[in-house]
Amino acid sequence: MTRRALLLLAVLALVWGATWPIMKVAVLGLEPWTFRTYCGVLGGIGMLCVARMNGHRLMMAPDQLRLAVLIAPFSLGGWFVFSALGVGLMGSGRAAIIAYTMPLWAMIFARLLLKESLTPARIISLAAGLCGLAVLLSHDFGLIEDSPMGAAFMVMAALVWGLGTVLFKRATWREPLSVIVAWQLIAISVPVTIMALLTEKLFPAAGIWTWLALAYNVVLSTVVGYYVWNRIVLLLPTGAAVIGSMAVPITGVMFGTLLLGEEIGWREIIALALIAGAITVVMLEKPKLKGAPA
């Protein structure tokens, strides 16, 4: 866990933690397919602008473009769709907590597809992190029963995101990360936009807070967040990366307190300690000797 990776995880925790209450505001004013159309199209264009400012060529080699498009439904598409549907049916905090069961699925897929070892440190960290999420969710189990479809959508979002993370890491990339993510966003925007055109209104009469929430989700959550996340995935072993991401629901709860007035109680404090401990164990894990399996 290098200083650079730790800094990127901190940025991700802040950006994506604030996303959950802000996304809740956006999807109350915009329907799910319309919301994700804006995020995908504008986010893809924004990412291309970032790539151009960095002096990168915007067109990808044909084989790299095919690879990016094939992986996009898993690394971005499934998460885009299922999370927007889920957060519209349940509270943003509960949705975020269920979504971050993703490390469990990612570590399973990493073992199957990347042959990454389930080291004692990673197993302990995963168990501690999931216990922390369970503590956060413990007083809301009855509410989840009232919204089973919302919970099901968030579980699907977590599962597909976990698989997509492993597929993205497994691929051999030659293109700049910003260009890859930009074309993935644009690729998944095509079917999402078609669904929005067929079933929803692309230009609803929404209030100013809805559009401001959308702007945050496009610029920070999509462009900055996905770039930082995929950079972390390429820098770290899958197990370390996904356990580090478990800081996001904690910051999400804190932003929920700041933005929505939600209270922080003993559950949040215990969960914070467990998840912080999980991340610390991964940070202190000794690297394998060169040539040893990761």
Tokens for 28? 């109350």
DSSP 61: P
Is the pLDDT at 88 greater than 50? The verdict is yes
On whether the CB atoms of residues 63 and 240 are closer than 8 A, the answer is no
The pLDDT confidence band at residue 293, using thresholds 50, 70 and 90, is very low
The Cβ-side half-sphere exposure at 132, using a 13 Å CA radius, reads: 28
Residues 6+ apart with CB under 8 A from 202: 34, 37, 196
Q: What is the pLDDT of residue 39?
A: 92
The pLDDT confidence band at residue 218, using thresholds 50, 70 and 90, is very high
Domain ranges of the chain: 3-283
On whether the CB atoms of residues 25 and 209 are closer than 8 A, the answer is yes
pLDDT higher at 264 or 63: 63
Please give the C-alpha separations between residue 57 and each of 43, 51, 234, 280, in angstroms, as whole numbers.
18, 8, 21, 39
Tell me which range, 13-27, 241-255, 261-275, 279-293, is most confidently predicted by mean pLDDT.
Answer: 13-27
Comparing 47-56, 161-170, 238-247, 274-283, which segment has the lowest mean pLDDT? 274-283
* pLDDT per residue as tens digits for the range 269-285: 777 677 777 767 766 66
Q: What is the pLDDT of residue 80?
A: 78
The closest of 34, 58, 65, 8 to 218, measured between CA atoms, is 34
The pLDDT confidence band at residue 290, using thresholds 50, 70 and 90, is very low
pLDDT, average across residues 112-132: 77
Distance CA 256, CA 22 (A): 9
Is the pLDDT at 238 greater than 80? The verdict is no
Q: What is the pLDDT of residue 61?
A: 94
Beta-carbon neighbour count of residue 15 at 10 Å?
21
Tokens for 142? 């009855």
Residues 6+ apart with CB under 8 A from 141: none
The closest of 223, 224, 272, 229 to 250, measured between CA atoms, is 272
* pLDDT per residue as tens digits for the range 16-55: 888 878 887 888 888 888 998 999 999 999 999 989 988 8
pTM, 2 dp: 0.78
